[in-house]
Structure 1
Amino acid sequence: MIDKSVFENKIAAYYTLGCKLNFAETSTIGKMLAEQGVRKVRSGEKADICVVNTCSVTELADKKCRQAIRKISKQHPGAFIVVTGCYAQLKPEEVAHIEGVDLVLGAEQKLDILQYLDNLKKKEEGAIIASQSKYIRVFSPSCSADDRTRHFLKVQDGCDYYCSYCTIPFARGRSRNGTIESMVAQAKEVAQKGGKEIVLTGVNIGDFGKSTGETFIDLIKALDDIDGIARYRISSIEPNLITDEAIEFVASSKRFAPHFHIPLQSGSDNVLQLMRRRYDTALFRHKIEKIKEIMPHAFIGVDVIVGTRGETDEYFEEARMFIENLDISQLHVFSYSERPGTQALKIDYVVDPKTKHARSQKLLDISENKLHSFYEKHIGKEANVLFEHTRKGGMMYGFTENYIKIEIPYNISLVNKTNQVILGNWNKEKTALTCRLI
């Protein structure tokens, strides 16, 4: 039984680092505390409770988490600080020793936060750790809205792939998911609240159905039938799991946007083998060509890691040439970071930091050229734009179905509405296209 008196007149602050899945889960935690009467902190206020949802995808991510926790402790002196997320799951003892931390919650405990808040007294003797390092099996549903117009619907969690460089299976557990019925119910709730766009999130969303005997294609078909949602976006999905059937369905669907985010990680088959990825460059190229064949206007974002162990100069050059010749829209470039306990540490060849930086810059230059080329191909064309709440310097922004950012003078009547526009030239900063309403 939860003692509601513990939460009377309490104020909470929420901080999220990392992926959209974390943002969805933080939002769920916020809703749970709000139901107990806890109000979200306002500007200038000192919070009674601070919840920090962490990331641990790289060593830099760990460092940013530590910095954020220390900063939050200073900003909200005396607050009861809860740290959860992947960093807390992987290194609970390390987190517990950061000054100011009172409670460390693992992956399977984070959405049971209320039962761990029996009182909100600072832990002078050290933080309490409620974290289990193995056997993360429970799927906890989450759906959040950001400060714009999108909602993030968690459809899957965990991963069974164990790529050689990655700790996510240890941080998030085995692949699991909710039912299609429950996903549809949450999407309908978003529609009832006026939400127009939903992004499907997870760790390995193409693996949806593993724990319920369903399939990803059945999920997107069911969601496509929900009235009130203007569009869905599919977040990162493995190339070997995005089937041709799914691509064809998106092309003919009522609501799924022609927008894909597909992790490549390397354009060298030798490096892909060292990474223990489950595809080769031939399969990846096929998926890109399949998308562009039936949706020439589709936006395709691609994740790439540079400087992994074993990535020789020759292998990087293979990867660079492969990527340069792909018909994609943008790269998300990450420098390889050593993660304790991973199989990649057994690979002898190590890339020095200076070389990693130089390789990253080469790929970032390719990305910028591809993105600008993609935008310019659409100047003068008609598009459907969903405008967002954000206002900056008298301007508002939105995105087309194929993820082109649009700028227009602020007009409150356009917020959270889809509008047909003619795409114009670049704005002054070359960060978005201007447009004219039709």
Structure 2
Amino acid sequence: MSAPTGTGTGWVSERFGVRLDGDGVTELVRLGLRRNPKRAHLLVSTVLGKHIPTDPVRVRGAADRLADLVVELIGAEKSAAATVLGFAETATGLGHCVADRMGAACYLHSTRRRADGVSVTATFEEGHSHATTHLIEPTDDALFAPDSPDTDVPLVLVDDEISTGATALEAIAALHAQYPRRSYVAAALVDMRDAAQQQQCEAEADRLGLSVTFVALAHGSIGLPSGFTEQVCALAAPELNPVGPVPGSVTIVRAPWPTGVPDGGRHGFLRADTASFEEATAAVTAAVRERLDPAVAVVVVGHEEFMYQPLCVAEHLAQDGFTVRYQTSTRSPAFVLDEPGYPLRRGFEFPAPEGDTTAKRYLYNAVLDPTDPAGSQVVFVCDEPAGTDDLYRAGGLVDVLTRAGHNVVVAVVDTPSQQSLRTAREAR
């Protein structure tokens, strides 16, 4: 059953008077906090697999329902011809699942990772985000460009949440300047725009001369009381990196990956890549499986925007009979509170493993049962740029997880470069 309108429940509502309104919204998100003057509330998804360890069946199911809304809107023929763009960092896996369900011709996600030697096609900004700049890095512009500006096949943009619509319109404006087309679809798990914000989106689309349609699994709004942001920012910093009575173990798996197969959507994923991707992911899972205790629950953790492949690993392990949940680390700091009903019960802070150790990264919960914090083994799946010594050093992600008592299996997947994928595609 859908939650009734106006059910702001949980510690955040009780402590600050924040209200969530909208039929079905509270089935998809829970209220969290972040000490950020730009935006102090955090809608923590129950189906995304980001902050909360989530059953992979639930993750895939929500994405499938969202994809079905898009297909219902534009039709099966246009869905098969469409390009889908997922937003980093939270919606890269969601977008890939949507594209997969649609049978879309191409999937691509934006990225926050800057790398030498990678060509950037376009950029756009996200105002309320902790890391604001999105980069678009396809192997070839032709993957992203429509056949002509008059094509009626829309670009489908996927995000976990539409808060104001500004990010979607900013992305559309930036992309339309380079790759004009007639129509766009913005799809999200929840749409939290009020009437004025919806009118602003319509006015901006009219100004650009475009058709922009929004679809979501649930529509609602959030009521923030006066002084809420100041109160949240005044909270004491949460205690992170819990330490268990007995440290856990570390096992490292180096997982080979074909150089001509994309490991996700950062440089573009074609429908024709699906079979080879599935075969390579099954091989990664097999390498991980033999290092696990089948009697102990597993939390599969992806690395930031590297979301889809770890989800597929989690799905394979579940099919093999493991009790599995799935989530990823994040760039976004959030407020942690060990309080029943609050979605972020514990948290880990660690340096970014890609080389800038001054940049902090985060992981939340990482356990099935909050009352048994060491009761899950963790499988951390990352791409090669994240598999550095900083991952294992004192204070790194593996170190803080093992000090909390988790046995950790690290699977570092060889990463095809933009150039190697480009070369493979040109040879086809």
TM above 0.5, yes or no, is: no
For the pair shown, which has the larger CA radius of gyration, 1 or 2? 1
Q: TM (normalized to structure 1)?
A: 0.30
Higher relative contact order (CA 8 A, sep 6+): 2
